Chain A
């Protein structure tokens, strides 16, 4: 326990120990005399023990919580990762060494799990066709094709059906009308069930280990039940309504020999490993496909597909215009007000400051929708004040409107920051410039502005990065529109990010995640390039890495 303490000191301080040769430093500490005593009594040693127990407790609790589902689903890799991470964390906080890591690890774990992993996954997804129709593996696709093609044929067995649940999974309890034998059907298949209580009408009333779902609740899960099927040797059991089920034959079946799906009526769909679909002779494919690697196809599509690439460039240009003017306008207005208030002769600065901050303190998402309605064609305040005009209906005015809205939302932040930066500019400098005969404007441009800019460059760059992807503003005000009549995927005010969101299918449900991921990678490349260049250029003035 005591090594911990000295270890801590020596890691941080270049002059550890009481024999350091900097007397003024020590006197600044104040309680020189008490130091030795504190060191010996170590009032916190119980605290150390308690904190250690706490760390171990949290680690153990997390393990107990995390392990069962992983074991149940046999996710051994994930299990291994969790085990190694918890062991490392436990070691880290139990050893007196590695002090910096103690402070860095909590944030790093979150950063890794929810920022880095998604980024890596985005890159990986960009090279696949993941999306609607291509969500799972080939086996899953085959199974979906087979079960969805199950049809009732004359003479196929019928059952009384009771919907039940076990461990949260849907189960079909099937009663044979003739023999009254009861079977439980899960996604894995049929199994006999004994000891179930069956009513005269063939409904299962209760069965040990299963929870019977009341009809009213089952009706709400209608779609889930209709999609559920119990595989059997010759086909599958499917529900007709909520009280009957039949065992039907699969119309389509997979043949491993030709790697194709066939149906008795003569259909033949051959697996296409490039497209991730089963394709017939005429080139038509079945609905269910699987995930395959498509190489750079998504990237080339973004750049060459005429319906997309033509717009892609326009979106990119507008994206730059928007981000640059967002930074420029907010900075300019923030600077003007900050300068105006930067004078001892202005009274009531506190009061003005509160008013000027208000746009920043109001809930942004709600104010965006309010602005949208102020620009409303028929009723909007702005349309009323400036004559009826379809502000958000034409590309140019819609873009102008967005920049105005962004200015309103963004200038208070700049105002605050510039106010702070102006206070750091020594007054003697501007006064000296004045005495040397410089006009107020020249003094500002040559002395104040450069100093403020040096201080604020990092902020301006991150502001650019933020506005480059200012999804909220676009989504909530124009939703990308106005749209050209012939193109409903790209609107005039779409930023790359709002475009990506639409392509990913979060609005409409027609998802092309692979393509959306590719566009995300493009956006990242652009923002990263611009920011890196800007950072390197301004690095000379900073001490970020010192």
Chain B
């Protein structure tokens, strides 16, 4: 018994304690979301009743929540997909080909990455003041503007993560494809991409989560109520009436979690292997 405690028991104890730590804010959100009173003051870990009134208020109230939700999901999906495509292409070149300027390219991506895009927020503001005048479609208050801006940061950590993973795929595989007469485009799309599924899944998920959570640039960019993303819109919701809107806010949080959590569960089996294999090689 004592031996069991020493070998296995502590493991359960640790895991349960940490699970409790991980869960309690989530339980608090669920409780607030189904609590019909819907104020911060009335919310504890156990709700004092259960109803869907907060969800109802949220979807029918003054805030265009559905629009925000759509904006966020669309921007996050497109930027995850497009970002994935351009960064895996770059990673493929860095991993498989030897060309002049390769080392310099890798190094400069690393350096530029250390200047986080949001540090340049002032400059981005200046650039897009100009862009808004010339091309309103890609200017302030437009999802397309935000989208291309996010793609500017796509060629960073993602490329490194994917290059690391690609390095673990034996070169002989694409060499034999070449000998079978495949062009480099065919090799890339039909041989390499299917093989690096895990790291694609992980990168897509990381950038999806990152985009959904991005607040600073979106907050400068999107001022029109209708154009806002969830992060910007919901922040305003709590600054308006902090206590009264709390139940609605919690309901909104749960709804926001749906796309991410489903993506997570869907990609779950890839995540550990994808993250690590990429990370181990830098």
Could you tell me the distance between the alpha carbons of A370 and B215 in the complex, rounded to whole angstroms? 16
Do A29 and B276 touch (CB < 8 A)?
A: no
Could you tell me the distance between the alpha carbons of A381 and B126 in the complex, rounded to whole angstroms? 42
**Residue among A20, A361, A458 making CB contact with B261, cutoff 8 Å:** A361
Min CB distance A488 to B, Å, is 18
Min CB distance A259 to B, Å, is 27
Could you tell me the distance between the alpha carbons of A20 and B213 in the complex, rounded to whole angstroms? 51
With both beta carbons as reference points, the residue of chain A lying nearest to B184 in the complex is identified as A8
Min CB distance B210 to A, Å, is 9
Binds B, one of A11-19, A157-165, A185-193, A203-211: A11-19
Binds B, one of A109-117, A234-242, A250-258: A109-117
Interface size class of chain B, counting residues whose CB lies under 8 Å from the partner chain: 35 or more
Do A497 and B15 touch (CB < 8 A)?
A: no
Min CB distance A477 to B, Å, is 12
With both beta carbons as reference points, the residue of chain B lying nearest to A355 in the complex is identified as B19
B residues 14-66 in Cβ contact with A at 8 Å: 14-15, 18-19, 21-23, 25-26, 28-29, 39-41, 43-45
Known A-B contacts A107-B155, A417-B276; the reply to A520 vs B119 at CB < 8 A is yes
Contacts of B276 in A (CB 8 A): 417, 419-421, 423-424, 455
Interface: B244 (CB within 8 A): no
**Residue among A51, A122, A543 making CB contact with B120, cutoff 8 Å:** A122
Interface size class of chain A, counting residues whose CB lies under 8 Å from the partner chain: 35 or more
Do B86 and A381 touch (CB < 8 A)?
A: no
Do A73 and B19 touch (CB < 8 A)?
A: no
Do A107 and B89 touch (CB < 8 A)?
A: yes
Interface: B7 (CB within 8 A): yes
Interface: A224 (CB within 8 A): no
Could you tell me the distance between the alpha carbons of A500 and B220 in the complex, rounded to whole angstroms? 14
**Residue among A5, A115, A337, A532 making CB contact with B152, cutoff 8 Å:** A115
Do B119 and A500 touch (CB < 8 A)?
A: yes
Contacts of B279 in A (CB 8 A): 417, 420-421, 455-456, 458-459
Known A-B contacts A110-B155, A116-B112, A362-B257; the reply to A356 vs B22 at CB < 8 A is yes
Contacts of A201 in B (CB 8 A): none
Do B238 and A361 touch (CB < 8 A)?
A: no
Could you tell me the distance between the alpha carbons of A546 and B95 in the complex, rounded to whole angstroms? 9
With both beta carbons as reference points, the residue of chain A lying nearest to B246 in the complex is identified as A373
Contacts of B253 in A (CB 8 A): 362-363, 366-367, 370
With both beta carbons as reference points, the residue of chain A lying nearest to B237 in the complex is identified as A369
With both beta carbons as reference points, the residue of chain B lying nearest to A16 in the complex is identified as B178
User: B240-268, CB under 8 A of A: which get 1 and which 0?
Assistant: 00110010011011001100110011001
Do B280 and A421 touch (CB < 8 A)?
A: yes
Could you tell me the distance between the alpha carbons of A516 and B123 in the complex, rounded to whole angstroms? 10
Known A-B contacts A100-B97, A341-B15, A363-B257; the reply to A13 vs B252 at CB < 8 A is no
Could you tell me the distance between the alpha carbons of A475 and B39 in the complex, rounded to whole angstroms? 23
Contacts of B181 in A (CB 8 A): 5, 35-36, 38-39
Interface: A476 (CB within 8 A): yes
Interface: A196 (CB within 8 A): no
User: A259-289, CB under 8 A of B: which get 1 and which 0?
Assistant: 0000000000000000000000000000000
Interface: A443 (CB within 8 A): no
Known A-B contacts A118-B120, A544-B106; the reply to A13 vs B275 at CB < 8 A is no
With both beta carbons as reference points, the residue of chain A lying nearest to B21 in the complex is identified as A408
Interface: A537 (CB within 8 A): no
B residues 182-222 in Cβ contact with A at 8 Å: 182-188, 209, 212-213, 215-216, 219-220
Min CB distance A59 to B, Å, is 16
Interface: B77 (CB within 8 A): no
B residues 119-178 in Cβ contact with A at 8 Å: 119-127, 133-135, 148-149, 151-155, 157, 159-160, 167, 172-178
**Residue among B109, B180, B252 making CB contact with A366, cutoff 8 Å:** B252
Interface: B74 (CB within 8 A): no
Min CB distance B281 to A, Å, is 6
Could you tell me the distance between the alpha carbons of A454 and B278 in the complex, rounded to whole angstroms? 13
Contacts of A354 in B (CB 8 A): 265, 268
Could you tell me the distance between the alpha carbons of A121 and B117 in the complex, rounded to whole angstroms? 12
Do B176 and A29 touch (CB < 8 A)?
A: yes
Binds B, one of A394-402, A428-436, A523-531: A523-531
A residues 452-494 in Cβ contact with B at 8 Å: 455-456, 458-459, 462, 465-466, 469, 471-472, 475-476
Contacts of B213 in A (CB 8 A): 363-365, 472
A residues 25-43 in Cβ contact with B at 8 Å: 25-26, 28-32, 34-36, 38-39
Do B15 and A122 touch (CB < 8 A)?
A: no
Interface: A70 (CB within 8 A): yes
With both beta carbons as reference points, the residue of chain B lying nearest to A407 in the complex is identified as B21
Could you tell me the distance between the alpha carbons of A29 and B180 in the complex, rounded to whole angstroms? 7
Could you tell me the distance between the alpha carbons of A69 and B39 in the complex, rounded to whole angstroms? 51
Known A-B contacts A340-B10, A416-B275; the reply to A462 vs B175 at CB < 8 A is no
> Can you spell out 20 A-B residue pairs with CB atoms less than 8 angstroms apart?
A13-B179, A28-B176, A32-B180, A36-B181, A38-B181, A66-B135, A103-B90, A103-B93, A108-B155, A118-B117, A122-B119, A352-B19, A357-B264, A370-B28, A411-B18, A421-B279, A459-B279, A471-B118, A504-B122, A542-B281
6 smallest CB-CB distances across A and B, nearest first, come from: A114-B152, A420-B276, A29-B176, A8-B184, A118-B120, A121-B123
Which residues of B approach A to under 8 Å, CB–CB? 7-8, 10-12, 14-15, 18-19, 21-23, 25-26, 28-29, 39-41, 43-45, 85-87, 89-90, 92-93, 96-97, 99, 102-103, 105-107, 109-127, 133-135, 148-149, 151-155, 157, 159-160, 167, 172-188, 209, 212-213, 215-216, 219-220, 230-231, 234-235, 238, 242-243, 246, 249-250, 252-253, 256-257, 260-261, 264-265, 268, 271-273, 275-277, 279-282
* Besides A25-B175, A472-B213, 17 other A-B contacts (C-beta < 8 A): A12-B96, A29-B176, A29-B179, A103-B93, A107-B87, A113-B148, A114-B117, A119-B123, A340-B10, A340-B14, A346-B15, A358-B22, A367-B29, A462-B157, A472-B216, A513-B122, A520-B119
